[in-house]
Structure 1
Amino acid sequence: MELYCLESDIPVRAQPDPIILYDDRVLQSLLTIEDRFLPQCSYFQRVQKDIQPYMRRMVAGWMHEVCEEEKSNEDVFPLAINYLDRFLAVMPTRKSYLQLLGAVCIFLASKLKDCRQLSAEKLCMYTDNSITPRELLDWELVVLGKLKWNMASVIPNDFIEHIIRRLPLPKDKLPMVRKHTQTFIALCATDDRLAMNPPSMIATGSLGAAVCGLQLDHSDQRLSRDNLTDLLAKITNTEMDCLRACQEQIERVLTTSLQQGQQDGQETGVRAGNKARKLQDQSSTPTDVRDVNL
Structure 2
Amino acid sequence: MSLWCEEVEAEESQTQTEVTQAHQNHINLGGSSQQLRAAWDPTVSGHRVIERLLHVEERYMPSMLYIALIQRDPERREELAKWALEVCCDFGCDEAVFPSSVSLMDRFLSASLSVPVSPYCLAAGCILIASKLTECENVTADSLCAAAEYSFLPSSLRDMERVILATLRWDTAAVTPQDFLPHFVASVSDRGDSEGELISTLRRHSDTLAAMCACDSRFLGAPPSLVAAASLNCALRGLGNNGPNQLLLMSEALAELCMTEPAVLQCYSEMIEYTLRQRLRSGLQQVPMEKEEELEESERPGTPTDMREIDF
* Residues 128, 139 of structure 2: 8 Å contact kept: yes
Identity %: 33
For 1:90-101, what aligned pairs fall within 5 Å after superposition? 90-94=111-115, 96-101=117-122
Relative contact order: is structure 1 or structure 2 higher (C-alpha 8 Å, sep ≥ 6)? Answer: 1
User: Which among 217, 221, 239 is matched to residue 242 of structure 2?
Assistant: 217
Instruction: Give 1:273's aligned residue.
Output: none
Q: Letter of the aligned partner of 1:206 in structure 2?
A: S
1:187 corresponding residue in structure 2: 212
**Letter paired with 1:203:** A
Letter in 1 for 2:215: T
Secondary structure of 1:140's counterpart equals helix
Instruction: Give deviations 1:142-163, integer Å, cap 9, x for gaps.
Output: 1112112111111101111211
Question: Structure 1 CA distance, aligned partners of 2:67 and 2:39?
Answer: 40
CA distance in 2, matches of 1:14, 1:264: 42
Q: Is the Cα contact below 8 Å between 1:44 and 1:53 reproduced in 2? A: no
Relative distance call for 1:89 and 1:264 in structure 2 (3 A) is farther
Among 197, 213, 233, which residue is 2:255 paired with?
233
Alignment root-mean-square deviation, CA: 1.9
Supply the distance in 2 between the matched residues of 1:15 and 1:85 (Cα, whole angstroms): 31
State whether structure 2 residue 285 is matched by structure 1 residue 263: yes
Tell me how far 1:237 sits from its aligned partner.
1.3
Aligned length: 252
Which string of whole-angstrom CA distances, capped at 9 and with x for unpartnered residues, describes residues 93-114 of structure 1? 3464211111011001001111
Name the CA shift for 1:198/1:45 in 2 (closer, same or farther; >3 Å): closer
Deviation sequence 1:78-97 (CA, Å, 0-9, x none) = 11111111111121334642
Shift of 1:262: 2.1
Judge which range, 109-118 or 230-239, deviates more.
230-239
Q: Secondary structure at the match of 1:14?
A: coil
Return closer, same or farther for 1:197/1:144 CA change in 2, 3 Å cut-off.
same
Unaligned runs of 5+ in 1: 1-7, 267-294
| Residue 17 of structure 1, aligned match among 16, 36, 41 | 41
Output the TM-score relative to the length of structure 1: 0.81
CA contact (8 A) 1:44 1:52 kept: no
Matched, 1:117 2:138: yes
Does the 8 Å contact 2:116/2:122 carry over to 1?
A: no
Relative to structure 1, is the Cα distance of residues 190 and 9 closer, same or farther in structure 2, using a 3 angstrom cutoff? closer
- 3-state secondary structure, aligned to 1:241: helix
The aligned residue for residue 284 of structure 1 is: none
Q: 1:228 to 1:85 in 2, by over 3 A?
A: same
